[in-house]
Amino acid sequence: MTKRRILIAEDDESVLKVTKRRLEYEGYEVVTATDGEAALHEVLGELPIHLILLDIRLPKRNGYEICQTLKRQPATARIPVIVFSASESVLQQMANRCIEAGAAGWVRKPFQTKELLEKIHYALGEEG
C-alpha cells in the first residue's frame, strides 16, 4: 500500500515542524507550505495530495480562498481539507465558510494530536 500524502499549509514554523513529525511517525508522507500560493502550487503539482491540513490565516492567500479554489476544480474537488485556526472569531466565521465551500472539518489550535488524527483517519476513510 502506498503512503498517503498530506499537505500541511501552516505559517507557524513550530506548529508545522511538530505536526509534520507526528504525521510522519504515523506513516504519512508529508509535504509542507508556509503560504497560500505555495500550498496551491503543491496541490496542483505532480505529486498526488490525499489530504490537506489548512491554516485559515496564511500569507498571500487565506485558507478560505484556497479551499474555495480547490473545491471548484474537478481535479482537486475531492481532496479532503481540514482547516484549523487559533482565533475563535476567525475560526467560527472562516471555518464555517470553508465547510460551506467543501472542507471535511476543522480543528481549533492548539489541537490535541489524538483529535487531529481522528479527523484525518475519518476524512481519509481509514480505521483509526
Out of 34-38, 45-49, 84-88, 90-94, least confident range: 90-94
Which DSSP symbol is given to 74? Answer: T
Domains and CATH numbers, the chain: 5-124 (3.40.50.2300)
Q: What pLDDT, on the 0 to 100 scale, is given for residue 102?
A: 83
Tell me the per-residue pLDDT of 51-66, one tens digit each, with 9 for 90 and over.
999 998 899 998 889 9
What's the pTM value of the predicted model, to 2 decimals?
A: 0.90
**Average pLDDT of the chain, as a whole number:** 88
Q: CB of 64 within 8 A of CB of 103?
A: no
Q: Are 20 and 13 in contact (CB under 8 A)?
A: no
Q: Place 108 in a pLDDT band, splitting at 50, 70 and 90.
A: confident
pLDDT of 120 reads: 93
Whether 99 has a pLDDT exceeding 70, the answer reads: yes
For the chain, counts of helices (H) and of strands (E): 6, 5
Per DSSP (E only), the strands in the chain are 5-9, 29-33, 51-55, 81-85, 105-108
Instruction: State the residue for C-alpha cell 498530506.
Output: 6
Residue 115's nearest CA partner among 106, 104, 126 is: 106
Mean pLDDT, rounded, for 6-17: 95
88-92, 101-105, 107-111 — which is least confidently predicted?
88-92
Q: Which of the four pLDDT bands, split at 50, 70 and 90, describes residue 107?
A: confident
The answer to whether residue 1 scores a pLDDT higher than 60 is no
